[in-house]
Structure 1
Amino acid sequence: MNQTWIVYKVESMSAEGWRERKLMPSGGLTEMLTEEWDFSGKLPKIGDRLREYTNLQDPDNGITHGRDGDWIVTRINHFSSEETQQEIAICYCAYQPIEVKWVELKRGRPVNEILQATEVG
């Protein structure tokens, strides 16, 4: 199974939207917006937007809502290793703000309920 490390970064440190980027723990500006691991083989495409998540009622307590973010993928560099079956996708992004439309996330049953149901059956 291939695993892909996906890195989302800005086109350049001085690109538009620099004030909206997260600051590193040391207080410095970063060109890296976010990263994730993918095991599904479904890689980002040009035009995809980064997703943002929050809890509108209690911001420090998990997530309840998601939305398309203000960063859009403009180009992708893809690297792979046949030896390790690992890949890296570097997605360069541009700041293109859109109207904020938070959507409530659909949640399944809590894990405790699922486990109890399997124990009974």
Structure 2
Amino acid sequence: MAKYIIFQADEDEPFWEDRMLQHTQALTGMLQEVWDYSDKTIPEPGYRPLDYVQVKEDYNPEIHAHSTHYRQSNWEVTRVEVYTPEIPVTKFDQIVICYCRYNPINSELKLMPGRQISKESFDNKEQYEEWLATKQ
């Protein structure tokens, strides 16, 4: 089931000045968006999205896309709204809005696992075989 999950700061939460859209610098309440194509259940109150961090000393472009580490966020889901299109006009089966409050924790940084690449990561078999050839 395809889900578009938006983590949104609840009204009146602190640190609003740190939440700017990169391309316009306009303020936003959006903390994170996730495109989830798995069968996992949607987040529930108490869930904390992950923060992704790049530790420059550990960064290797051959191993990492951008982030080298992750940890649980200081933002905690307080309520969830789910919208399901009546007519399938979008690629998502559900649009999920998770409202969050700022509730800081001391979360340890964990090393990102290596990239997992499979045939399904490519549009066609030829692209996959070309990629395999570069790795030999």
- Range into which the TM-score falls when normalised by the shorter chain: 0.7 to 0.9
Q: Please say if residues 7 and 89 of structure 1, whose CA atoms lie closer than 8 Å, have aligned partners that are also in contact.
A: yes
User: Take 2:80 and 2:19, find their aligned partners in 1: how far apart are those partners?
Assistant: 21
Structure (1/2) with the larger strand percentage: 1
Matches within 5 A, 1:20-31: 21-24=18-21, 25-31=23-29
Matches within 5 A, 1:25-44: 25-42=23-40, 43-44=42-43
Query: For each residue in 1:19-52, what CA deviation from the matched residue of structure 2 results, as whole angstroms up to 9, or x when unmatched?
Result: 4x42123333211111111111321121111111
Structure 1 residue 83: deviation in Å?
A: 3.0
Q: Please say if residues 64 and 104 of structure 1, whose CA atoms lie closer than 8 Å, have aligned partners that are also in contact.
A: yes
Q: Please say if residues 71 and 94 of structure 1, whose CA atoms lie closer than 8 Å, have aligned partners that are also in contact.
A: yes
Report the 3-state secondary structure (helix = DSSP H, G, I; strand = E; otherwise coil) of the residue aligned with 2:84.
Answer: strand
> 70, 82, 90: which is aligned to 2:97?
90
User: Take 2:76 and 2:25, find their aligned partners in 1: how far apart are those partners?
Assistant: 24
TM-aligned CA distance change 1:109 to 1:28, over 3 Å:
closer
TM-aligned CA distance change 1:6 to 1:110, over 3 Å:
closer
Aligned to 2:74: 70
CA RMSD of superposed structures (Å): 3.0
Aligned positions, number: 114
Unaligned runs of 5+ residues in structure 2 are 119-127
Q: Please say if residues 7 and 91 of structure 1, whose CA atoms lie closer than 8 Å, have aligned partners that are also in contact.
A: yes
Matches within 5 A, 1:1-121: 2-12=1-11, 14-19=12-17, 21-24=18-21, 25-42=23-40, 43-57=42-56, 62-84=66-88, 86-108=93-115, 115-116=132-133
Identity %, equivalent residues: 29
